[in-house]
Amino acid sequence: MRHLIIKNVGPIKSIDVELCRFNFIIGPQSSGKSTIAKVMSTCEWIEKEVATTLDSEIIGDGEAFRILIEKFHKMYGYFVPDSYIEYDTDVIKLKYENGNLKISLNDDAQYTRQKISYIPAERNMVTLPELDGFEFKSTNLKSFLFDWWRAREAYTPDNKTEVLSLGYKYCYDKKRSENRDRILHSNGVTYDISLSDSSSGLQSITPLYVMLQYYSDQYFREYDIRSSYKDDTKLNKMRKALMEKYILRPIKKDFKVSEIKGIIDEFNNRLNMMDEGARTLYESYQNAMTRLTVPDRITYIIEEPEQNLFPDAQIQLINYILHQCTSERKHCCTITTHSPYILFALNNCIMGGIVGNDVPEKTKKTIQSNTAWISPDLVSIYEVQNGGLVRVQDEDGLLEDNYLNKSYKALSSEYLRLLQHYETKAED
């Protein structure tokens, strides 16, 4: 369960939504889609920090919370005195009201660490050669760039990756002094150019595709705690909090600081003697350490995946995103979009999830080669309207016909009216 309320933040007047594993936010430009996504991602990051440090005061106060969002997501001027944010999950409850912040942690929650990846609309900036050696402020763009720089290392000239079925491959050639991000024709002969010299569509989809491919799978197989905790202070703080929760307090609930060394010495002696109670406590501690330090899933927040892409590529991309996120790791994804092609493709994926086993096996194989089926229970689709959110799904979870068709109906009606005048003129 994830419940989000936002009031009076930027263009958002009031929203109150239950978030699913997959969330699609649609609506006109500047309506507030990205505002919702940015607030959501910040709350998810705070949940992760609070849960992994067992410290509900890790964000000092309301001002620190506001500054965090303003700086990281470049949302200066979005907050007003009566801005309100509430984020409630099984793990934490966060409330920002009247400039004050209150966070409470559910001690019984079994939080499992996740990676959170915000992929902004400005992602084609990764192609700029001027980025090398540039000092970035701590923003979502910096976070994205660091994720990109890590992901691309996996795709060497000997391990190129085909990007969907668009007819080209990508690799990162670190032996080059410049223009290391390479785009090659799938036949390996026709062209070999720098990503920065490719089309705007390739500059937009390539970093998105490469990151989806890497972080949905290989990242977890290569994960190294040491590289993710460059600051040992944070890791030691976690160990201390878990030691207190899973070993010290179960042995002596109201222990004093002066007693810690004696309790630990006695506990270690019991472990050495294979004491069953001590082993149980130690296993609980180790399981919690693993759960809180080693991520087992990723949450993507993706702005406008359709940017600069031909409709066929948009459809391929959304199918790929859903395919990558419906693995056994149970990744999550929130997407902001304007694209009717993405919506139509999403609707087909939901329809496949509804009909499921009723489809003949031969037909199923043909369909699923192009479509990632997804249960409608996992998907929420909202449209931003006048500063609020309206759910645009019918009782089966499919997009409502009137939403999908309203633009096309308007265009068709206009065409038919013009056609009538055209035919009348031709007869004259």
pLDDT of residue 428: 60
Of 381, 368, 373, 372, nearest to 340 by C-alpha is 381
Q: Which residue has the higher pLDDT, 226 or 237?
A: 237
Q: Which of 86-90, 118-122, 259-263, 418-422 has the lowest mean pLDDT?
A: 418-422
Q: How far apart are CA 207 and CA 25, in angstroms?
A: 22
Q: Where are the chain's structural domains?
A: 2-114+298-397, 123-223, 226-293, 398-428
pLDDT of residue 422: 66
Q: Which of 80-84, 203-207, 221-225, 390-394 has the lowest mean pLDDT?
A: 221-225
Of 392, 352, 292, nearest to 23 by C-alpha is 392
pTM (2 d.p.): 0.88
Fold of the domain spanning 2-114+298-397? Rossmann fold (3.40.50)
Q: How far apart are CA 414 and CA 420, in angstroms?
A: 10
- DSSP secondary structure of 167-218: SEEEEE-TTSSS--EEEEETTSSS-EEEGGGS-HHHHHHHHHHHHHHIIIII
C-alpha distances (whole Å) from 246 to each of 251, 260, 282 are 9, 13, 8
pLDDT of residue 329: 85
- The share of the chain scoring above pLDDT 70, in percent, equals 89
268, pLDDT greater than 80? yes
Cα of 384 vs its chain's centroid, Å: 19
Do residues 367 and 384 lie in contact, with contact meaning Cβ atoms separated by under 8 Å?
Answer: no
- Is residue 125 very low, low, confident or very high in pLDDT (cuts 50, 70, 90)? confident
For 321-373, how does the pLDDT look when each residue is reduced to its tens digit (9 = 90+)?
Answer: 999 998 788 899 999 998 988 998 999 899 888 887 666 665 555 555 566 88
For 277-324, how does the pLDDT look when each residue is reduced to its tens digit (9 = 90+)?
Answer: 999 999 999 999 999 999 999 999 999 999 999 999 999 999 999 999
Q: What angle do CA 218, 224, 228 make, to 5 degrees?
A: 110
Do residues 248 and 255 lie in contact, with contact meaning Cβ atoms separated by under 8 Å?
Answer: yes
Q: Which residue has the higher pLDDT, 28 or 158?
A: 158
389, pLDDT greater than 80? yes
57, pLDDT greater than 80? yes
Q: Which of 68-72, 110-114, 124-128, 326-330 has the lowest mean pLDDT?
A: 124-128
For 4-32, how does the pLDDT look when each residue is reduced to its tens digit (9 = 90+)?
Answer: 999 999 999 999 999 999 999 998 888 99
Grouping H, G, I as helix, E, B as strand and the rest as coil, residue 101 is: strand
3-state helix, strand, coil in the chain (%, to 5): 50, 20, 30
pLDDT of residue 191: 85
Give the CA diameter of the chain. Answer: 104
- Is residue 129 very low, low, confident or very high in pLDDT (cuts 50, 70, 90)? low
Element spanning 33, H or E:
helix 33-53
118, pLDDT greater than 80? yes
Do residues 302 and 205 lie in contact, with contact meaning Cβ atoms separated by under 8 Å?
Answer: no
For 203-235, how does the pLDDT look when each residue is reduced to its tens digit (9 = 90+)?
Answer: 999 999 999 999 999 999 888 765 666 557 778
pLDDT of residue 229: 60
Structure tokens at 270: 């019991």
Q: How far apart are CA 151 and CA 147, in angstroms?
A: 6
For 143-155, how does the pLDDT look when each residue is reduced to its tens digit (9 = 90+)?
Answer: 888 899 999 999 9
Element spanning 292, H or E:
helix 276-293
Grouping H, G, I as helix, E, B as strand and the rest as coil, residue 407 is: helix
Burial, 330: exposed, middle or buried (Cβ in 10 Å; 0-12, 13-18, 19+)? middle
pLDDT of residue 183: 94
The amino acid sitting at 143 is: S
Do residues 321 and 335 lie in contact, with contact meaning Cβ atoms separated by under 8 Å?
Answer: yes
Count of H helices and E strands in the chain?
14, 15
Do residues 91 and 105 lie in contact, with contact meaning Cβ atoms separated by under 8 Å?
Answer: yes
Element spanning 421, H or E:
helix 401-427
Exposure on the CB side of residue 340, measured as CA atoms within 13 A: 9
Q: How far apart are CA 194 and CA 206, in angstroms?
A: 12
For 162-189, how does the pLDDT look when each residue is reduced to its tens digit (9 = 90+)?
Answer: 999 999 999 999 999 888 999 999 887 7
Structure tokens at 169: 């491959």
pLDDT of residue 136: 57
